[in-house]
């Protein structure tokens, strides 16, 4: 089994790279999706978040008010750390279960947005970083995701710098250009991963 950490700044295009790798045969462990699952209604995760942040972070239906919670934690580093202290161990446990269920010859790609920030590079055989210039990230967040420029800059500032991400990269995918230039690069990375997996 080869374990791969996949990361990149918000708006860099990591999700598209994850989708492509999955289509080639990688077992994808998506930390963002798991993070949503562990705070669904009825979970210990949601109970812990409500205990920490109060019932006002719930929707009328009893689910987590993500935009409301996001507004709190992205404006206050201490509150963000409190949320991470609840969610990250739950995500880590579930990710380990999913990896354990993969076959011995699998290439398991862990899609982890905050891999750099949380010092997780050592957990993987290889780290793949999807890279884009900050100006490109900002443009995509405003144009494609409908964020205000201030919102986008705040989200970007809450993450590791481009230099910090590149410092932990074993392989880099340059996603600064158009979508059609991405696929050949991801295919080349996949070939490298298969080669490495064959020698594990």
Collect all residues with Cβ–Cβ distance below 8 Å to 62 and sequence separation of at least 6. Answer: 41
Q: Express as a percent the part of the chain with pLDDT over 70.
A: 100
Strands 27-30 and 126-131: unpaired
Q: How far apart are CA 165 and CA 107, in angstroms?
A: 22
- Count H helices and E strands in the chain, helices first: 9, 5
Q: How far apart are CA 112 and CA 118, in angstroms?
A: 10
Q: Where are the domains of the chain?
A: 1-26+106-200, 33-104
Topology (CATH level 3) of domain 1-26+106-200: Rossmann fold (3.40.50)
pLDDT in tens, 96-137: 999 999 989 999 999 998 899 989 999 999 999 999 999 999
Grade residue 22 by pLDDT with cuts at 50, 70 and 90.
very high
pLDDT of residue 102: 93
DSSP H/E element including 20: helix 14-24
- Indicate the pTM of the whole model: 0.86
pLDDT in tens, 187-200: 999 999 999 999 87
Top-level CATH class of 33-104? alpha beta
Q: Name the residue with tokens 């986008």.
A: 152
Collect all residues with Cβ–Cβ distance below 8 Å to 95 and sequence separation of at least 6. Answer: 29, 31, 34, 110
Domains 1-26+106-200 and 33-104 share a fold: yes
């Amino acid at each position: 089994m080869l374990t791969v950490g996949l990361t990149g700044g918000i708006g860099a295009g990591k999700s598209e790279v994850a989708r492509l790798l999955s289509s080639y045969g990688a077992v994808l462990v998506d930390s963002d999706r798991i993070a949503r699952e562990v705070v669904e209604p009825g979970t210990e995760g949601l109970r812990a978040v409500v205990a920490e942040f109060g019932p006002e972070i719930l929707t009328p239906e009893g689910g987590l008010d993500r935009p409301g919670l996001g507004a709190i934690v992205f404006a206050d580093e201490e509150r963000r750390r409190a949320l991470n202290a609840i969610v990250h161990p739950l995500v880590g446990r579930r990710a380990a279960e999913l990896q354990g269920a993969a076959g011995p010859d699998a290439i398991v790609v862990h899609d982890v947005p905050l891999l750099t920030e949380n010092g997780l590079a050592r957990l993987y055989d290889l780290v793949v970083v999807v890279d884009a210039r900050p100006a490109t990230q900002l443009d995509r967040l405003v144009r494609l995701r409908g964020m205000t420029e201030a919102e986008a800059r705040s989200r970007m500032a809450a993450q590791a710098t481009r230099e910090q991400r590149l410092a932990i990269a074993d392989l880099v995918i340059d996603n600064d250009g158009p979508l059609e230039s991405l696929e050949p690069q991801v295919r080349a990375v996949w070939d490298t991963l298969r080669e490495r997996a064959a020698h594990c």
